[in-house]
């Protein structure tokens, strides 16, 4: 009995030794450092594969936005130029300031019989009828800030910026429907137009518009609602003093050049605009051309 008991005890102690011999061990410091180093290398390589495409996508997005902003600004200017009064576009010597006289609408005036509806060029007149009506006005129409212009050719004596001969003075202009489908009746402040236009076209002008490019501030700004002046205003201060309202057209402007080629008997006038926008190291430069309708 005693010997059997010792055998069982010995067997039990052997099991405990076996159980206690099964040890659990963790990472050593060296293994942990190696793991961290290898993991960092893997993450660095993964970051390269992720960051480079992201940077390329971001740069492409900026370029696309710059192209869109530049194109929108140039098209906006082109719309004003194409709708300007004939021979009213002018550019300063720095080629960074462009001015024009914006038109509201145009029509063909009556200059023959019956005399009651004809525009008299021999004396101051106050009313006339059209043979081709205005198409952009909702009749009856009235304005105290607009002008009538006939035969502006942009030379001394026939230049709307001078405020004489071809453009009416400040006052009330009204347009109402006439007796026939193509007839509008126009009244205006007493004025004698100096020249009968070959095309018999009369323009309603809302006033001057200036685009000023300031590369120091990085802006392209549109100014409107100021007084017509024979001397072109070429600074923000002079435009503001004349009563202009400013509206930002584009920011991030790096450079700009405006040029105007006067029309000849063989070709129309042409305005060429070059605008460069720069942002976050990306730069886009576009060239845009617009033809003002200079036929009077």
pLDDT value of residue 10: 47
Query: Whole-model pTM?
Result: 0.80
* Res 98: pLDDT: 98
pLDDT of the residue at 33: 78
pLDDT of amino acid 282? 86
> Smallest Cα–Cα separation from 152: which of 98, 209, 201?
201
Instruction: For residue 132, count other CB atoms closer than 10 A to its CB.
Output: 15
What does the pLDDT read at residue 293? 83
pLDDT for 127 equals: 95
The pLDDT score that the predictor gives to residue 115 is 64
In the predicted model, residues of the chain with pLDDT beneath 50 are: 1-19
Can you tell me the distance from the alpha carbon of 28 to that of 208, in angstroms, rounded to the nearest whole number? Answer: 82
Distance (Å, whole) CA 238 – CA 42 = 63
Q: Residue 41's pLDDT is what?
A: 81
- Tokens 């009651």, residue located: 116
Residue 205 CA to its chain's centroid (Å): 21
Q: Cα–Cα distance between 70 and 65 in angstroms, integer?
A: 8
Q: What is the pLDDT at residue 174?
A: 98
């Amino acid at each position: 009995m005693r010997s059997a008991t010792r055998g069982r005890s010995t067997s039990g102690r052997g099991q405990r030794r076996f159980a206690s011999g099964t040890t659990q061990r963790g990472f050593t410091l060296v293994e942990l450092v190696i793991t961290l180093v290898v993991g960092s290398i893997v993450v660095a390589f993964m970051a390269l594969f992720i960051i480079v495409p992201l940077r390329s996508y971001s740069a492409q997005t900026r370029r696309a936005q710059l192209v869109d902003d530049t194109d929108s600004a140039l098209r906006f200017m082109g719309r004003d130029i194409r709708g300007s009064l004939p021979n009213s576009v002018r550019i300063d010597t720095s080629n960074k300031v462009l001015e024009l006289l914006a038109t509201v609408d145009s029509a063909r005036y009556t200059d023959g019989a019956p005399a009651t509806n004809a525009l008299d060029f021999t004396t101051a007149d106050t009313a006339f009828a059209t043979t081709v009506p205005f198409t952009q006005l909702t009749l009856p129409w009235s304005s105290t800030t607009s002008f009538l212009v006939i035969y502006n050719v942009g030379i001394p004596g026939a230049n709307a910026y001078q405020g004489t001969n071809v453009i009416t003075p400040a006052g009330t202009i009204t347009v109402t429907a006439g007796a026939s489908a193509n007839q509008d009746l126009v009244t205006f402040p007493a004025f004698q137009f100096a020249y009968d236009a070959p095309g018999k076209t009369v323009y309603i002008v809302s006033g001057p518009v200036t685009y000023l490019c300031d590369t120091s501030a990085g802006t392209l700004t549109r100014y409107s609602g100021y007084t017509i002046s024979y001397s072109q205003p070429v600074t923000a201060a002079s435009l503001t003093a004349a009563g202009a309202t400013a509206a930002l057209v584009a920011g991030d402007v790096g450079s700009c050049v405006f040029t105007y080629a006067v029309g000849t008997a063989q070709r129309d006038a042409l305005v060429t605009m070059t605008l460069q926008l720069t942002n976050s190291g990306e730069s886009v430069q576009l060239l845009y051309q617009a033809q003002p309708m200079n036929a009077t």
